Each structure stands twice: as C-alpha cells, then as structure tokens.
Chain A
Amino acid sequence: MINVEHLTKTFGAKCAVDDVTFSVSKGEVLGFLGPNGAGKSTSMRMITGYLPPTSGTITVAGFNVADQPLEARRRIGYLPENAPIYSDMSVLGFLSFCAEMRGLFGSAKKDAIDRVVQLCFLERVLHQSVDTLSKGFRHRTCLAQALIHDPEVLILDEPTDGLDPNQKYEVRTLIRRMGSEKAIIFSTHILEEVEAACSRAIIIDQGKIVANGTPDELKAQSPFAGNVIVTVGNVSKAQLLPQIEALKGVEKVWIVAEKPEHVTFQVVPRGNVLPELLEAGTRNAWKIEHLDVEEGRLDDVFRSITLPDTKPAA
C-alpha cells in the first residue's frame, strides 16, 4: 500500500530524512518511533504530498505521490502533527467541509459524518465551535476528518498527543481495530503504544532508520533481554555475590536493590543460566522470593539505539 524508497529530505545543509526505505501493506499498523527532531513528521509530510522530497520515490496505493498527487491523496487520511483545525467553525461545519472536499455530498456526506462522529465520540460537541473545544476533542475532530472518506491509507502524526489516558486508550483501540483493513502509519514517542497497537515498528533517529521489526523482535534487542532477576530473602549481599560469580553461566551480576529483609540481583547470562542458578540456590539454601526473566523493554531498546553513548543504567 505504501512504498517508500530512498527517501531523503534536506533543509539547507540539514538532512532531516536520510535515505529511508520501508513499505507498509494492507492490514499492517506501522509504528514510527523516534526522539523529537528525528524526522518523523517530515517523512509523513512527504508521504502525504505536502513536502516534496529532495530525492526518493513514494507510492501510495499504486500512485506515485510526485506524479499523481491528487489520486494518491484521495486514498490517504492524514492527521497532521498538533491536529490543526479551522478555529472559526463548528465541529459539524468542519466535518461537512472536509467531506465535501473529499467529494462526498448529500446522503453520502451525512452517512460519512455520522460514521466518524460515532467512531470518534463527537456527538456531544457536534454543534460546538471548534474554538471552545478541549484539546482531546479538537484532536478527535481532526482525527475524524482523516477518517471521513474511509481511506485505504492512514497517516497519523502523534494521534494520542495531548489526550488523557482514557482517550489515549480509545484512540489506540481504534487504530488497532482499523488496522485490519487499512495500511496505517502512526508516529509516537510513547513506547507502550507501539506494543498496544502496532504490528511492526520502525525506530528512526537523525533521519535514519535504526531499527525495523515487530515489537517482540525489537524488545529482544534490549540490552536487558534475557537477564534473570532474582530476589533472595535470607542471605546478605556479601555472601551472595561470590556464590553467584562462581557459576559458569554468569556473564555479569549486580545488585539491583538491597533491603534488610531481602536482596535483589540481576544476572546477565551466558547461555541458559536458570538450572545452574536454581541448583546453587538449593545448595546454599537461599530463600528465593521472586524470579523473573526480563523479556526486554522497548524503552531500553529505544534508549540504547538512539543514545549510543549512554550505557544502560545498572
């Protein structure tokens, strides 16, 4: 559905997007991750045809965005960053304008408006002026605009920015639900959203793609993935450390927390350390209170990829 090849955008001497290639097919929800200024919005603006690329090609639903911009745009629903919206209209007036711009008139327009109003929970504010809306409603009104023509492709730039937790949840659920029959790209810097809504994620930093995979694949790249975390109740730190360091399967170990009643340590394994660790526990009569294998958190992956100089905090 969306094909991006060698996309590059420079502003003067600054390279905002640097040779980015990826594709999204129907039924996929692609999470676009990256720190502020990474080039997410710039990429999305090029895909929607707002900014012309410096080089590279983009096709949307088979139409080249540079050559057939109108055909491509007809198939795209776009929520720009910060959800801009005409402030001097009512929600209904705004949606009606957007529907007409998409070629929907008469009963088709009415049906489309009814559908998105329901989808985005706008009944309550339908006749209210956009000026007086709370941020959450403004955002959802702009989102409704992106959905009004039921597009095959959705480009959402930070769709949950500025929403409260309940609204964030609603929008994520909506994205996931629509994901089955559309191709969706949404950008965010909230990592839990990627796990909640995406089938695939791309991490972009300084204009370059630095990671691309399913959320699980990305999590496995965490420097902490596979680490074993154990809480032991009846042994002091001084006794414990030598006992663990003696094990062959232990690459590295450090104390995470030390309290009078128990000690928590984390082990970086070399191979599968669990049987050996449990055996050592039995041998030394540890009172194991808690044992966990870290599956990796996206935060850590994100940090380790986008901040290469910072070592993971021990």
Chain B
Amino acid sequence: MKTIWTIAKRELGTYFTSPVAYVFIVIFLFLAGAFTFMVGRFFDRGVADLLPFFLWHPWLYLFLVPAAGMRLWSEELRLGTMELLLTMPVTPWQAILGKYLASWIFLAIALFLTFPIVITVGYLGHPDYGRIFCGYLGSLMLAGAFLSIALLTSSFTRNQVVSFILAVVVCLFLILCGWPPVTDAVSNWAPAWVVDGLASIGVMTHFDSLQRGVLDSRDLLFFGSVIVFCLFANSVVLRAHRA
C-alpha cells in the first residue's frame, strides 16, 4: 500500500513540477466553461442544472485524458527507468495502480476546480444537488475509464505521440458506439441486438444515465469493468515487455 502511494506521489510530483499540469488544468477549465456557456447556452436555458456542462465532458476527455496519460509508461520505456522501477521490490500491480491513481487524482483535481459552476447554479436557482453529484461521479468515472485506456496504450510504445493517438482512437470508438447519431444510423440497417450491443459497450449510454441523476450500479459497474480490464491488460503488456 505504501509502495503504491510512493509511486503515485512521484507521478503526481511529475505533473506539478512541470508547467504541463497547469496548462492542462487551464485548458480544461477554459474549454469546459466555453462549451457550457457559449455552445451549451447555459444561461438561455433558464434551468438550474448542469446538463450543458457535463454534456461536453466526453468530448473534452477524448483529447485531454490521453494527453494526461500518454507519458505514464512511454516515458519509462524511453528513459529505461522501467528496468529500475520493476527491479525494486514492487509488484507490477503496485506500479500500475500507483501510476493510475496518481493520474486519476490529477484529473479529479482538474474536475474539482470546476466547482464555481456549482456555486453559480446554486446562486441562480434551486438545483438538484443529488443529480449534480451523480453528474460529477459519472464524469469522474468516465475520466477514469479513458485514463485506464491511455495508461494501457502508453505501455505499448516509447513514443508518447503514438500512445496518445492510440488512446484517442479507442476512446473515440467507445464514445461513438453509444452516441445517438451513430446508433440511429446503425439501427437503419443492423438488427436490434447489434445496436443494443454497441450501445452497451459505448460509454455514452452509461454516462447519460448518470447525468440524468440515475445512480445505477450497472453504469458504475460498466466503468469499473473497463478500468479493471485495461489495468489487467496493462499488466499483461508489462510482462510481455520483459519476456
């Protein structure tokens, strides 16, 4: 446990000793705000909820989460420090979890810094705080799922750019699978079970139901399984690197 935290602490330190973390957070907050207020027409709707805010998170995360996760293993491979790390008394699982937690905490910090918008709706009207909580939870789980994908793709290659692109492609696939415009198009020619199958592995279905304030364990389970699957695949890739 202590080892996991030691690794996580080092990774977090890496984010915050370089300007990258601050740039990342500023971009995230700026885009989240811009989409909410300009594209999502937050004020014109006249409804005190955060739907226009959360609506854009999958698309923001599509690029920002792979950017935050692309160096996690790639950099270790490039510098050769993987050999250093994995010959210390740690199990691969501890190393994976340490890295994963650090980045997730980092994303959670970025997400937490959007709290002024909660204060804004609270000031303007009487929002359903339970629903806002669900929204944040869904957003955090989505970030976690995308992060596990980025962590996995970063273990494929020492090249961060390749790792980034792979992660974006996989995340985009998971978004499109359940995105209504796509499911509608597919339902024109495919049988219903294909559409349902695609929708159920897509992140949007699960993300949306959390946004509606429905705290369904199946949605959490979905994100949880994506995460566990990717972390497990990560450990397999690490083993393959050393074979």
Contacts and interface: CB of A to CB of B under 8 A. Distances in A.
Interface in B90-110: 90-91
Interface of B: 2-3, 6-7, 9-10, 13-14, 17-18, 79-81, 83-84, 86-91, 242-243
B87 A78 contact: yes
A311 B87 CA distance: 42
Contact of B243 (A52, A73, A85, A101): A52
B73 to A, nearest CB: 13
Contacts of A88: 14, 17-18
Main secondary structure of the interface of A (DSSP, over half): loop
Contact of A80 (B84, B90, B242, B243): B84
Given A48-B87, A97-B9, A101-B90, 4 more contacts: A50-B87, A88-B17, A103-B2, A142-B84
B79 A85 contact: yes
Contacts of A84: 79-81, 83-84
Interface of A: 45, 48-52, 70, 73-74, 76, 78, 80-82, 84-89, 93, 97-98, 100-103, 142, 145
B87 A101 contact: no
Contacts of A87: 79
B17 to A, nearest CB: 6
Q: Which of B3, B7, B80, B88 has the most CB of A within 10 A?
A: B88
Contact of A52 (B6, B79, B242): B242
Given A84-B83, A85-B79, A97 B242 contact: no
Contact of A70 (B14, B81, B91): B91
A168 to B, nearest CB: 22
B242 A73 contact: no
A86 B13 CA distance: 12
25 contacts: A50-B86, A50-B87, A50-B242, A51-B242, A52-B242, A70-B90, A70-B91, A78-B84, A78-B87, A80-B83, A84-B79, A84-B80, A88-B14, A88-B17, A89-B10, A89-B13, A97-B10, A98-B88, A101-B3, A101-B7, A101-B89, A101-B90, A102-B88, A102-B89, A103-B89
Contacts of A145: 84
Contacts of A86: 10, 14, 79, 81
Contacts of B7: 101
A279 to B, nearest CB: 62
B87 A76 contact: yes
A83 to B, nearest CB: 9
A195 B34 CA distance: 69
Given A52-B242, A52-B243, A100-B6, A85 B84 contact: yes
A93 B13 contact: yes
A103 to B, nearest CB: 8
B189 to A, nearest CB: 45
A86 B80 CA distance: 9
Contacts of A78: 84, 87
Contacts of B10: 86, 89, 97
Nearest to B86: A50
B89 A74 contact: yes
Contacts of A80: 80, 83-84, 87
Nearest to A80: B83
Contacts of B3: 101
A307 B6 CA distance: 48
Contacts of A102: 88-89
A121 to B, nearest CB: 21
A185 to B, nearest CB: 14
Contacts of B243: 51-52
Contacts of B87: 48-50, 73, 76, 78, 80
B6 A70 contact: no
B84 to A, nearest CB: 5
A97 B6 contact: yes
A87 B78 CA distance: 11
B83 A73 contact: no
A86 B77 CA distance: 11
B79 to A, nearest CB: 5
A29 to B, nearest CB: 20
Task: Sort A-B residue pairs by CB-CB distance and give the 4 closest, nearest first.
Answer: A84-B80, A100-B6, A48-B87, A80-B83
Q: Which of A45, A48, A78, A86 has the most CB of B within 10 A?
A: A86
A89 B16 CA distance: 11
Contacts of A48: 87
